[in-house]
Copies of this chain bind each other. A is one copy, B any other.
Amino acid sequence: MSRSPSSSIEPVLVPQGGRAMCATLWGAVLGQPDLSDAALSAVLAWARWRHLASGDVVFACQQPAEQLFAVLEGCVGLGTLREGQAFHLERSVHGPGWLDLSSAWVGQGHVQDAQAMGSALVLELPLAALRPLFLRYPELQERLLLALAQTVQKLTGATHDLMAKDAQKRLVGWLLQRMSAPAGDVALRERKRELAAQLAITPETLSRLLRQLMASGLIEVQGYSIKLLNLNALRALA
């Protein structure tokens, strides 16, 4: 049986080129077009990167937030860490991408816990050190604004989905969004329980929904790879 998700749980590639490679990844976080080398290296001078093993805590709820967090590589989950029980996942960030841009600005501590799902490379950026740079490199601040705005849009979409769509519509929407070529193949990069968590349903319900869609001939499920057979019908569902 195919086990695609495990590949993202393998030992992370340690950046061989050191700073060079990190800079490349880091550029991906800040978006296109690439920032000037001067701005990039000025920011990198203050950056600190941490290598995390599976399960490591990146930051904890209510802990004072003074840094911007980005995931360079691997995957980090946002949610609630409950002692004695499993981590309750709410959202996950795959590198490269921002993990938490907002908490440091508000300055009132983190609102969620963050835990590495598998090995990950995380970058921390002290906001206090960054502020002076904004005057010299205004593009930098604009990138952060854009990233925050995108986060707002994504969250708005998420709340809308939760309020207006049922589980099936959310699942189909997720599949369509993640579909690669027009062919319509989806290779799951995560465990099904994590997918379920992102859709705010239980693993049991996810299993039933997939079976149901398969019975309707709309998709074909084989382990961690899903084929979308009838795109039009799926779009009509979502």
Contact = CB atoms under 8 A, between A and B. Distances in A.
Given A135-B138, A144-B145, A156-B112, A164 B102 contact: no
B200 A146 contact: no
Interface string A82-121: 0000001011000000000111111000011000000000
Given A138-B134, A141-B141, A102 B159 contact: no
- Kindly name the residue among A91, A151, A163 whose own CB sees the greatest number of chain B CB atoms within 10 A: A163
A36 interface: no
A150 interface: yes
A88 B163 CA distance: 11
Contacts of A91: 159
A159 B157 contact: no
A112 B160 contact: yes
A101 B141 contact: no
Interface string A155-177: 11111101110000000000000
A162 B159 contact: yes
Interface in A188-216: 200
Contact of A138 (B138, B164, B200): B138
Contacts of A222: none
A32 interface: no
Nearest to A91: B159
A155 B159 contact: yes
- Kindly name the residue among A104, A156, A162 whose own CB sees the greatest number of chain B CB atoms within 10 A: A156
A149 B90 contact: no
30 contacts: A80-B164, A90-B160, A90-B164, A101-B149, A101-B152, A102-B148, A102-B150, A102-B152, A103-B153, A104-B149, A105-B145, A105-B146, A105-B149, A106-B149, A106-B153, A112-B160, A134-B138, A134-B141, A138-B138, A141-B141, A144-B145, A145-B145, A145-B148, A148-B148, A148-B149, A151-B152, A159-B162, A162-B162, A162-B163, A162-B200
